[in-house]
A and B are shown apart, each in its own frame.
Chain A
Amino acid sequence: MSEKLLDIKNLKVQYKSGNVPVCAVNGIDLSLNKGETLGLVGETGAGKTTTALAILRLLPERTGLIPEGSITFDGQNLLEMSEEDMRTLIRGEKISMIFQDPMTSLNPVMTVGEQIAEAIEYHNSTREGEEKIPVDERVNEVLEMVGIPASRKDEYPHQFSGGMKQRVVIAMALACEPELLIADEPTTALDVTIQAQVLAMMSELRDKLGTAMILITHDLGIVASICDKVAIMYAGKIIEAGSLEDIYVSKEHHPYTVGLFGAIPNLKVETRRLSPIEGLMPDPSELPSGCYFHDRCPHCMEICKHEYPDVYTDGTHSIACHLFTKKGVQEDKDE
């Protein structure tokens, strides 16, 4: 088996806000092997971005809090590392992140070449006695790699289109050849044809460089085209996870996953009405008792209202739902 790169155990993240904590992430387990791509799927407010920020320890200092859990990357617990070590050894060097909006993640008063060089220079300066990366050559190399002529490195972000800016951001993230790339909705702000170009390029680069990737998205179509594994989040919990086959082919699903698929207009099948999930995601500062999904769930049972379900596993496929655990099944028969 391939080597484990990232292992998250029982991670919880809360934000302080007034008197009640906002429970953004409520105990998730995730693992990722070297070179693998994980699709992290969920709606707005499901805790996807918070999870990513927790991995990079970029949560807001005063309000973000990790009360429990561990994040092991390459054998080290990131939550126990010093801020100094995070900066010099991890961020940009081993783990990079691409943010959703390329328009706001670039500095408008620096040329793109300078911005890419920044990360390389910083990590060069912290490497003592080791071989340094030649900055100029590397900048040219990564720009060509993402399909931008190196001659454009002296231009400013406003001279690039949205798709090109996102390419620059990807070049910056890959400049130090990280082992893990976290892409937070990298194509949401782009048009479909440009999205297809950027996705094709990202999967090509991933295969070439062997980078592991966590792709955060709400689009199940994108996941199907470039990921190896999928985890579906709802209200700060992973409610279903597995390989692509488990999620897209298997018959057993969490009711929320069924709802997500039902909400997408299908290009193949004629349906007059979509079957959306009624209601809204619960407020993370007032989470319901039992299963967080119970008040929207069409299969809600008595036990769902009181007890958070155990995880049912079948090979690589795991579902957190009483419909599949023994307890739920038994009670269902009793009723």
Chain B
Amino acid sequence: MNKIEQTPLIEVRGLKKYFKKSGKTLHAVDDINLSIMPGTTLGVVGESGCGKSTLGRTILRLIKPTEGQILFEGEDITKVSEAQMRKYRQSMQIIFQDPYSSLNPRKSVAEIIATPLVVNHVCKNKAELRKRVKELMDTVGLADRLYNSYPHELDGGRRQRICIARALAINPKFIVCDEPVSALDVSIQAQILNLLMDLQDNMGLTYMFITHDLSVVKHISTEIMVMYMGNCVEKAPAKELFENPLHPYTKALLSAIPIPDISMRSKKIQPIRGEVASPIDPAPGCRFAPRCDFCRQDCTGSSIPLVEVSEGHFVACRLQEK
């Protein structure tokens, strides 16, 4: 694979999203740079409130960015009008976390999957529409007999399959998966992860996979970005990040995963102290500093740049600066 010749499918430069509320500013996404190559998966990990969902939605322009650029196949989509954006939306879709609240309870499975096809005038007639919906249901592993069922009749795993079919309906190139398996049981979670990976192999999809579950993200991602309070603290290829985590927060996150292996039991868990601070008007400097065991004087005061320590491995930490 020659990376230099390819244009990234998605490129984000200096993206910021601030929410203003009663004179204060909430820094949800703060200066994020990323690029996703076609056919790969970028995993975005972080705890609740770190801005990972806001980032996903801002990239799709479901939320207007405060500052920065979003490039889709090399074209800037930050400034285009809503009408023009429609064209791009056909290639970008999203799967939400909760399959219970992201489906209209009054519409049948077929109607839900058909909606994007109807809205975008993809099918010429009803027969074609029906055929396409059945095809999609087959792709995601939904039985034909569920064609006229309603979401409440189905379990979480099947509902998530409907959401996936709906996202696939108009042949997108890029899908933001916002915690698609968090609401599901482990055995169902594995079924959905396998489905998403098969679809990627067969259709060459590009994913941005947002999750708080590190074991899931390692399994599915090509590259992983760790976020903390709106900042990217570390970014590396999946394998590299797990073998050689450098940022203290990444290390803490990794050590906090309970591992189903009792030989690890003797190793006492050393949880990081404290909780995530408020993202409203944060002080400059490393946002993890108050919880960090290695915090030094120069960690606060000025912002910390993301530096490349080895090929493709970026980290924002004073300890890694030479």
- What sequence of 0s and 1s flags, for each residue 264-301 of chain B, a beta carbon within 8 Å of any chain A beta carbon? 11000101110100000000000000000000000000
Minimum distance in angstroms from B272 CB to a CB of chain A: 5
- Enumerate chain B residues within 8 angstroms of A44, measured Cβ to Cβ: 185
Beta-carbon nearest neighbor of A244 in chain B: B262
Task: Say yes or no: B185 contacts A218, CB within 8 Å.
Answer: yes
- Enumerate chain B residues within 8 angstroms of A222, measured Cβ to Cβ: 258
- Enumerate chain A residues within 8 angstroms of B185, measured Cβ to Cβ: 43-44, 218
Task: Say yes or no: B258 contacts A275, CB within 8 Å.
Answer: no
Residue in contact with B256 in the complex, picked from A195, A218, A261, A276, CB distance below 8 Å? A195
- Enumerate chain B residues within 8 angstroms of A164, measured Cβ to Cβ: 275
B153 on interface, CB distance cutoff 8 Å = no
Beta-carbon nearest neighbor of A192 in chain B: B256
CA of A222 to CA of B258, assembled, Å: 5
B146 on interface, CB distance cutoff 8 Å = no
CA of A192 to CA of B253, assembled, Å: 7
Chain A 206-260 interface residues, beta-carbon cutoff 8 Å to B? 218-225, 244-245, 248-249, 259-260
Task: Say yes or no: B194 contacts A274, CB within 8 Å.
Answer: yes
Task: Say yes or no: B186 contacts A263, CB within 8 Å.
Answer: yes
CA of A224 to CA of B269, assembled, Å: 12
Beta-carbon nearest neighbor of A270 in chain B: B239
CA of A315 to CA of B190, assembled, Å: 32
B-binding segment of A54-62, A77-85, A196-204: A196-204
Given A224-B258, A272-B197, A200-B187 contact (CB < 8 Å): no
Task: Say yes or no: B186 contacts A43, CB within 8 Å.
Answer: yes
B218 on interface, CB distance cutoff 8 Å = yes
Task: Say yes or no: B260 contacts A280, CB within 8 Å.
Answer: no
Task: Say yes or no: A193 contacts B272, CB within 8 Å.
Answer: yes
Task: Say yes or no: A264 contacts B191, CB within 8 Å.
Answer: no
- Could you say which of A161, A260, A261 has the most chain B C-beta atoms within 10 Å of its C-beta? A260
Chain A 155-214 interface residues, beta-carbon cutoff 8 Å to B? 161, 163-164, 191-197, 199-200
Task: Say yes or no: A264 contacts B215, CB within 8 Å.
Answer: yes
- Enumerate chain A residues within 8 angstroms of B253, measured Cβ to Cβ: 192-193
- Enumerate chain A residues within 8 angstroms of B155, measured Cβ to Cβ: 280
- Could you say which of A43, A163, A263 has the most chain B C-beta atoms within 10 Å of its C-beta? A263
CA of A147 to CA of B262, assembled, Å: 27
Task: Say yes or no: A248 contacts B262, CB within 8 Å.
Answer: yes
Beta-carbon nearest neighbor of B50 in chain A: A191
- Enumerate chain B residues within 8 angstroms of A275, measured Cβ to Cβ: 190
Residue in contact with B218 in the complex, picked from A225, A245, A265, A278, CB distance below 8 Å? A265
CA of A195 to CA of B214, assembled, Å: 14
CA of A248 to CA of B260, assembled, Å: 8
Task: Say yes or no: A274 contacts B193, CB within 8 Å.
Answer: yes
B304 on interface, CB distance cutoff 8 Å = no
CA of A105 to CA of B185, assembled, Å: 23
Minimum distance in angstroms from A258 CB to a CB of chain B: 11
A273 on interface, CB distance cutoff 8 Å = yes
A267 on interface, CB distance cutoff 8 Å = yes
Given A264-B215, A265-B216, A277-B187 contact (CB < 8 Å): yes
CA of A225 to CA of B262, assembled, Å: 7
Task: Say yes or no: B262 contacts A196, CB within 8 Å.
Answer: no
CA of A190 to CA of B221, assembled, Å: 24
Chain B 55-70 interface residues, beta-carbon cutoff 8 Å to A? none
CA of A263 to CA of B219, assembled, Å: 12
A134 on interface, CB distance cutoff 8 Å = no
CA of A223 to CA of B259, assembled, Å: 9
Task: Say yes or no: A274 contacts B190, CB within 8 Å.
Answer: yes
A266 on interface, CB distance cutoff 8 Å = yes
Task: Say yes or no: A193 contacts B186, CB within 8 Å.
Answer: no
CA of A219 to CA of B187, assembled, Å: 11
B142 on interface, CB distance cutoff 8 Å = no
Residue in contact with A248 in the complex, picked from B186, B187, B191, B261, CB distance below 8 Å? B261
Contacts A/B (CB < 8 Å), 8 sampled:
A161-B275, A223-B260, A245-B262, A267-B214, A273-B197, A274-B190, A274-B219, A278-B191
The 8 closest A-B pairs by CB, nearest first: A221-B258, A276-B190, A263-B190, A265-B219, A196-B271, A196-B256, A220-B260, A274-B190
Q: Mark B residues whose CB is within 8 Å of A.
A: 47-48, 155, 157, 185-191, 193-194, 197, 212-216, 218-219, 242, 252-253, 255-262, 264-265, 269, 271-273, 275
